[in-house]
Structure 1
Amino acid sequence: MKTEHTPLSPVFIVFFMILLYTQSASALDSKNFAGIKFIFIQSGCFQMGNDKPATDRTVGEKPSHRVCVEKPFYMGETEVTQKQWQDVMGNNPSKSKVEDKPVDRVSWNDTQEFIQKLNAKDNGKYFRLPTEAEWEYAARAGSDDDYCYGDNPKSLADYAWFGNLGYKGTPHEVAQKKPNEWGLYDMHGNVWEWVQDWYDGTYYSNSPANNPQGPDTGKYRVNRGGSYIGKATNLRSAVRFSALPVTRTHDLGFRLVRQLD
């Protein structure tokens, strides 16, 4: 008896190929380096800053301008935790000592010492702080809105720990809220995050369109993302705060980048 086989439809074949690609891509989206989980961030262009006529807009957010991050990179899935800091530095400066909470009370200078030691352990120079452009690009995760999910602050509690909810004691354990579309947790809230750049409130007016690195010199370093004691407007993707590189506070930590080369 002859068996007849029904040919696969082109639609099914396309669907099957997309499914295989999605599974393959997701397997490559994250990777562990030195005990820290990183998410792969593809290169791309986005609208950096904020021109929206709102009273809560800070001076340094404007003008909105197109920026291209030309090299892919790995971004820490979470803020650096107290355990990760302890493993490298042998101490824990945080106010509330819980392994899976982000390390806090670390200055920008402290982060550089941590990175230097981590790179020495990893036999390379691949770990660093994100540039301000890389940070905002990753925080937005394809969104042009105030937050990674849209403009409505009423949904912010799904993604962030912040002061308007009364969480005023200490930072919270990482990855307890929803991640953004690229799989990054706590890009809004929990602790402010140091980035590599010097701060200049007028920098956006003449910054390069491709791979901006920030001013060559300055007095203050940029921190991003807002914190558990901040109000919702301070957690917007475009908000820029700054502090002296020696500053240590109980709501200020950092997140790492692992560059590919």
Structure 2
Amino acid sequence: MRRKSILLVLLFFLAVCAAHAAELKNEKARQEGNRLVITYDLEGKENEAQVNLILTVDGKTCKASDLHVEGDVGKVRTGRGKRISWNILQDFPRGLRSGVDWELTTAGEAFTDSVTGMEMVFVKGGCYRMGDTFGDGYADEKPVHEVCVNDFYMGKHEVTVGQFRKFVQDTNYRTEAEKGDGCYIWTGTKWVKQRDKNWRNPGFSQRDNHPVVCVSWNDAKKFSEWQTRKSGKDYRLPTEAEWEYAARSGGKSEKYAGGNDVDAVAWYSKNSGSETHPVGQKRPNGLGLYDMSGNVREWCSDWYGEKYYSQSPRDNPDGPSSGSYRVLRGGSWVYIPRNVRAADRGWYIPEIRNNYFGFRMALSAR
């Protein structure tokens, strides 16, 4: 977040606070008579994106539509030289003596990571009721509590075999399964750890567009660190609160990620054929994210706390400060419907690997 100040000669001072998403560039503010003018460039591969302007005046938050604002706000075509103009005196005839904050964001757009080809979808932050809102969950999903998260980006898909291969080829990284005693696989009757099983050979056929499996939390963390170094962007695993908010299409009342019809959105025990499937084949959720229910269980950044929901902070919770287990979310190809719900919580030691655990990347928008 960058802070800029301009002095307007309308008996008030504007302290400009521009918080922007990754595709907004060169934001500037200046006075033109009785107007505040904001200019910016909107970069991206899409033809257009939603640009939102929020102004806070005397502690009251206003949308652009609430004020005499005109110009490049709302649906805006990508390009340079965009301009927004606010006629302040039409809304405040006597001028202002207090500070005014403004926040310019883009919503709903995606960008493609140049290193991996990974598509990242912008998730507008907000508040929601996290936990077992349908009343059919487990004890650790209670109490239902209000959580607020900041803007962030989430991977459109789970990290794929092909994307993970780029990491391995660039670093010569060996996963914990490869260095250790293999990966757990499902034999049809029980879980067995086999020394020759790993992300290259998980016990079923995979192509580059399948979600990578047999990766531990530690392996996922190493991938995120590599992607950060190569791209210059701070990639990471999502927090558990971010994950559920994104899975539920921005905190909506959805049992599964994208609605209440499990077969429409998820590969799970009944329809998976006991294996992963290429990413993006089921219906996406309301944010355009795929496979957040089913296909593979996804590592989150948090330590797991069984009672954490009763003590979680409201704003941007990131789990207990320490623990023995890391959180997993989303269910998998081997799970029953109850365990691919958006509110369902899983946990394992960070070193564990099996052929239904994977992950997806997140990125803060500020």
Going from structure 1 to structure 2, the CA distance change for 1:139 and 1:24 (only over 3 Å counts) comes to farther
Whole-Å separation in 2 of the counterparts to 1:186 and 1:46: 21
TM-score when normalising by structure 1: 0.84
Shift of 1:149: 4.1
Where does residue 5 of structure 1 map in the other structure?
Answer: none
Specify the alignment match of 1:87 in structure 2.
166
- Please tell me the residue identity of whatever aligns with 2:125: S
2:269 is aligned, of 153, 159, 163, to 163
Distance 1:21 1:123, change over 3 A: closer
Q: Quick check: 1:119 aligned with 2:228?
A: yes
Q: Would you say the 8 A contact 2:148–2:314 is kept in 1? A: yes
Q: Which position in structure 1 is the counterpart of 2:244?
A: 136
Larger-gyration structure (1/2): 2
What do residues 60-111 of structure 1 show as CA deviations (whole Å, max 9, x unaligned)?
1111011000x21110000000000001122772413310000000000001
For 1:43, the equivalent position in structure 2 comes to 125
Name the SS of the counterpart of 2:245 in structure 1. Answer: helix
Q: For 2:248 and 2:219, locate their aligned partners in 1 and report how far apart those are by CA, in whole Å.
A: 27
The residue number in structure 2 matching 1:63 is 143
Question: Between the two proteins, what is the percent identity of the paired residues?
Answer: 41
Higher helix fraction (1 or 2):
1
Alignment match, 2:85: none
Give the match's secondary structure for 2:270. Answer: helix
1:163 counterpart SS class = coil
Partner of 1:105: 214
Partners of 2:129 and 2:147 within 8 A in 1: yes
CA distance in 1, matches of 2:148, 2:214: 32
Residues 105 and 234 of structure 1: is their aligned pair in 2 closer, same or farther, counting only changes over 3 Å?
same
Moved more, 103-112 or 29-38: 29-38
Q: Where do 5+ consecutive residues of structure 1 fail to align?
A: 1-13
* Structure 1 match to 2:303: 198
Figure out how many residues of one structure are paired with residues of the other and give that number.
Answer: 236
TM-score scaled by length of structure 2: 0.61
Structure 2 residue runs of 5 or longer lacking an equivalent are 1-64, 79-105, 175-197
Higher relative contact order, structure no. (Cα contacts within 8 Å, ≥ 6 residues apart): 1
Decide which moves more: 91-100 or 223-232: 91-100
Does structure 1 conserve the Cα–Cα contact (< 8 Å) formed by 2:247 and 2:258? no
The code of the aligned residue for 2:294 comes to: G
Question: Aligned partners of 1:27 and 1:241: how far apart in 2?
Answer: 30
Aligned-residue CA RMSD in angstroms? 2.2
* Partner residue, 2:287: 182
Distance in 2 of aligned mates of 1:204 and 1:222: 13
